[in-house]
Structure 1
Amino acid sequence: MNCKEMKMTAKIGILTVSDRASRGQYDDLSGPAITDTLNDYLSSPWQACYRLVEDEQHLIEAALCELADQEQCALIITTGGTGPAKRDITPEATEAVCDKMMPGFGELMRTESLKYVPTAILSRQTAGIRDRSLIINLPGKPKAIRQCLDAVFPAVPYCIDLLEGPYLECDESVVQVFRPKS
């Protein structure tokens, strides 16, 4: 079943940005780490829309636009390309396709990552909104993915509510989601 056949299920884009994984030089471990984390968090049904692209800005932008516009993913999580190296351009691609940037996500992820590694200040992960899709850039290491998502995910379902997306229900024993009381 593809994403378009999933009418009642939340669609979540998972985009791995990696030259070597896209060339088959090694397996993508980061995309599956995002899937595993979301499986732990979410109790409502969801469908992954997975993409793997090289560190090329036009390819990243095209994948983000496809996931947001054609697949209509409420949430798109990228992994890789957030460091200071010349080919790390995921934040630039994200900013180019977003209507609004959400800098608090990157600020919180860096703050959380600093608890584990002093090089977290080199990370440029960010987040933004394209129409009704929340896009979050994560680092490329599976362990860092979970650490960063643990920090920011409590705000994600409410952000998606504000964007008029699907209602994401979470396992409260795993992640404590915040939604204002009506």
Structure 2
Amino acid sequence: MYRSSVIRVLETGYLDETRSAALECKRILEAHGYKLAKQLDVEPIMSNLKDAIYTLTRETGLVVILGGTGLLSQDISPEALLSIIDKRATGLEVAMIHSALKHDPGLALYRCTAGTILNSVVLCIPGFVESVSWLLEPILDSLKVLIDQLNQEDG
């Protein structure tokens, strides 16, 4: 079983949506063999978000950030992640976006970001309940191989 965690970004006007998205995310993660070890709700403040991401990467192999991916001023999740990742995973980003756009072209207005921090994978995705499966389903099984490789490097 792979340990995972979820960060729900508390964006004004999207609290109910991201609450439902977090539940859907947990369901999908568990269906793919990931145990949800922790869920945090974080205000869209750069230092708070960066601290939460970094802390959870010490505890779990996969961190999923829900929300804060649009183009408004409070949408800072990709910037927070990009400022602390070791390696960016553009292939994961493309796979998630490609899958989601087949279902909803409007998701082109949102940003997916992925990367590694030491031996953890971090994904930043829009916090819409209907898009969580479109974004995560295509990559979750492949991520296990990467997480295993990252842990072998560490050990």
> CA RMSD for the aligned pairs?
2.0
Could you say which structure has the higher strand fraction? Answer: 2
Instruction: Evaluate the alpha carbon distance shift between residue 33 and residue 58 of structure 1 in structure 2; reply closer, same or farther with a 3 A threshold.
Output: same
- Alignment partner, residue 127 of structure 2: 140
**Greater relative CO, 1 or 2 (CA 8 Å, sep 6+):** 2
Percent of aligned pairs sharing the same letter = 24
Please list every run of 5 or more consecutive structure 2 residues that lacks an aligned counterpart in the other structure: none
Number of matched pairs: 151
- Alignment partner, residue 146 of structure 2: 159
- Alignment partner, residue 179 of structure 1: none
Could you say which structure has the higher helix fraction? Answer: 2
Instruction: Evaluate the alpha carbon distance shift between residue 59 and residue 21 of structure 1 in structure 2; reply closer, same or farther with a 3 A threshold.
Output: farther
Q: Indicate yes or no: 2:45 matched with 1:53.
A: no
Please list every run of 5 or more consecutive structure 1 residues that lacks an aligned counterpart in the other structure: 1-8, 166-182
Q: Indicate yes or no: 2:86 matched with 1:99.
A: yes
What is the alpha-carbon distance in structure 1 between the residues aligned to residue 133 and residue 53 of structure 2? 21
- Alignment partner, residue 21 of structure 2: 30
TM-score calculated relative to the size of structure 2: 0.88
**8 Å CA contact retained: 1:17, 1:53:** yes
- Alignment partner, residue 104 of structure 2: 117
Shift of 1:153: 1.5
TM-score calculated relative to the size of structure 1: 0.76
Question: Which of structure 1's runs of 4+ aligned residues deviate more than 4 A?
Answer: none
Q: Indicate yes or no: 2:68 matched with 1:81.
A: yes
